[in-house]
Amino acid sequence: MSGVNEIRSTFLNFFAENDHEIVSSSPLVPRNDPTLMFTNAGMVQFKNVFTGVEKRPYQRATTSQKCVRAGGKHNDLDNVGYTARHLTFFEMLGNFSFGDYFKERAIELAWTLITRDFGLKKDKLLVTVYHTDDDAAALWKKIAGFSDDRIIRIPTSDNFWAMGDTGPCGPCSEIFIDRGEHIWGGPPGSPEEDGDRFLEFWNLVFMQFEQVTKEDRQPLPRPSIDTGMGLERMACIMQGVDSVFETDLFRNLIDATASALGSGPQEQTVASFRVIADHLRSSAFLVADGVLPSNEGRGYVLRRIMRRAMRHAQLLGAKEPLMHRLVWALVREMGQAYPELVRAERLIEETLRLEESRFRKTLARGLAILDEKSASLKKGDMFDGDVAFTLYDTYGFPLDLTQDALKSRGIGVDQASFSDAMERQREKARASWAGSGEAASEAIWFPLRERLGATEFLGYETESAEGVVAALVKDGKEVDSLKAGEQGAIVLNQTPFYGESGGQVGDTGVLLGEGGVKFRVTDTQKKVG
């Protein structure tokens, strides 16, 4: 009972037996939260259920949720491959109560599952609670029989969970396992807490509040439960390994990479194998959920992830595109739990193959420039930001790829001069817009585009979604409002409406806003992105 697939099903079945509905993972692009880059926790799909805006036919649910933490508030991209635990894609197992049970039952259920079904030893376990949460501390004492020194009170945001700047939130209690003295580290709250000895694997959030704005925090109508257990961490514990990359699922992906390359990981190359395995997962799942590599927004995060993996493939001596040849192995490992992966297998392969073929055209040349321009640098030096910009602009190297390439030598990148170079490029683009002779009424779009960025298109995957109104335009001018009966254009931060292009007409439909506001969409145009 310790393979990743078995741990997942044991978890879900345990909660199903305790009257929870097994709900499918929601997509990585949140449908109900236009401000969040990617789904980064199990509770995201339930956000509106916690706040009472949305009703579901059940009050208890359990999920294994696909999560990506890259770009946005929770960003793990830079660390992946170099630490034992960071991943850009991971699965979060969770149980949820929407105004049904609260702290006591949540702690009881968690305790039964980990000590009975997962068989963890009680004397290896300890928990944290938010420093003022006396209830949770007393309940742990009662249910688990912990002495006070095993219930650690933490006064920081580590024990107050928030999804983002706004949304449901509350104090939380984290469960840790002591993996033994042979690993360096101290218990949470101690100066050595960053070590790997004490591993947090389950976070029980007692959702009590909604952060409405930065200053305004309101109690939720019905206190609720949101828990998140990192599946990969649990697999480490159950399989007695130190790193997520040594669990069965990752070992199989790394083996598949090794056989595609004809050589396995060595001490010098193991980080590259790990980066590839992790990034294969995030790339494949993002494509399956409708994200395609691009130069903006989510698509750009995907491109950065893909290209980071592709550079590591090159480092490992891949003579031709590699990533698409690993997709079958991922589908074998995870296709049963996530049928969308099976459905999108060809699209994922094709997307990876195209991106890697394209990038390989400039990759070798870019790496040669990087080597040449950094040859005389030593640890602690800064790499020229102008060159980093050329690598970005001409050779398709995302900035973090250049940073990643120099990281092992302890060299940073001069980001200020990188930004300057970027700004000079924008100036040039502005000047050429000004001279492009567009009608005066069209001039409005350029500054809007600069201020707001491009609108993200979600329509490959869905025909309805939430979005934020980024600007209103009427008669070639930006306005603050449009009144009933008026006509105008609405710019959104993201949209499932297809904009007229390539001979296809723009979509029509309707936008619904708070308080019953309705806007009929008679056409969709794609101006400067």
For the bound state, the minimum distance from the C-beta of residue 65 to ligand SER, rounded and expressed in Å, comes to 9
Closer to ligand SER by CB, 74 or 449: give it. 74
For the bound state, the minimum distance from the C-beta of residue 175 to ligand SER, rounded and expressed in Å, comes to 11
Closer to ligand SER by CB, 43 or 154: give it. 43
Give DSSP secondary structure letters for 194-220.
Answer: TSSSEEEEEEEEEEEEEE-SSS-EEEE
Nearest to 128 by CA among 118, 120, 140, 119: 140
Closer to ligand SER by CB, 226 or 466: give it. 226
Report how far residue 384's alpha carbon sits from residue 204's, in angstroms, rounded to the nearest whole number.
Answer: 45
Closer to ligand SER by CB, 172 or 291: give it. 172
For the bound state, the minimum distance from the C-beta of residue 97 to ligand SER, rounded and expressed in Å, comes to 12
- Helix orientation angle between 248-261 and 4-17, rounded to the nearest 10 degrees: 150
174 touches 143 (CB < 8 A): no
Helix (H/G/I), strand (E/B), else coil: 501: strand
18 touches 49 (CB < 8 A): no
Report the amino acid identity of residue 451. R
Report how far residue 175's alpha carbon sits from residue 423's, in angstroms, rounded to the nearest whole number.
Answer: 47
Query: Would you tell me how many other CB atoms lie within 10 Å of the CB of residue 53?
Result: 9
Closer to ligand SER by CB, 47 or 303: give it. 47
233 touches 208 (CB < 8 A): no
Residue partners of 300: CB distance under 8 A and separation at least 6: 293, 294, 398
Residue, CB closest to ligand SER? 228
Give DSSP secondary structure letters for 22-78.
Answer: E-PPPPSS-SS-TT-SS--SGGGGGHHHHTTSS--S-SEEEEEEEEE-SSSSS--GG
Closer to ligand SER by CB, 7 or 458: give it. 7
Sites of contact with ligand SER (CB under 6 A):
41-43, 94, 161, 203, 205, 226-228
For the bound state, the minimum distance from the C-beta of residue 194 to ligand SER, rounded and expressed in Å, comes to 18
For the bound state, the minimum distance from the C-beta of residue 202 to ligand SER, rounded and expressed in Å, comes to 9
Closer to ligand SER by CB, 23 or 458: give it. 23
For the bound state, the minimum distance from the C-beta of residue 31 to ligand SER, rounded and expressed in Å, comes to 18
For the bound state, the minimum distance from the C-beta of residue 49 to ligand SER, rounded and expressed in Å, comes to 14
End-to-end CA distance of the chain: 50
Query: Would you tell me how many other CB atoms lie within 10 Å of the CB of residue 514?
Result: 5
For the bound state, the minimum distance from the C-beta of residue 286 to ligand SER, rounded and expressed in Å, comes to 19
Query: Would you tell me how many other CB atoms lie within 10 Å of the CB of residue 513?
Result: 10
Closer to ligand SER by CB, 45 or 203: give it. 203
For the bound state, the minimum distance from the C-beta of residue 206 to ligand SER, rounded and expressed in Å, comes to 10
Encoded tokens for 439: 């009608």
Give DSSP secondary structure letters for 366-382.
Answer: HHHHHHHHHTT--TT-E
User: What does the buried/exposed string (b/e) look like for 429-462 if buried means 16 or more CB atoms within 10 Å of the residue's CB?
Assistant: eeeebeeeeeeeeeebbbebbeeeebbbbbbebe
Closer to ligand SER by CB, 66 or 307: give it. 66
For the bound state, the minimum distance from the C-beta of residue 90 to ligand SER, rounded and expressed in Å, comes to 10
Residue 311: beta bridge partners? none
Closer to ligand SER by CB, 41 or 126: give it. 41
- Helix orientation angle between 399-407 and 385-395, rounded to the nearest 10 degrees: 120
CA-angle at 294, arms to 358 and 31, nearest 5°: 140
For the bound state, the minimum distance from the C-beta of residue 41 to ligand SER, rounded and expressed in Å, comes to 3
Closer to ligand SER by CB, 87 or 330: give it. 87
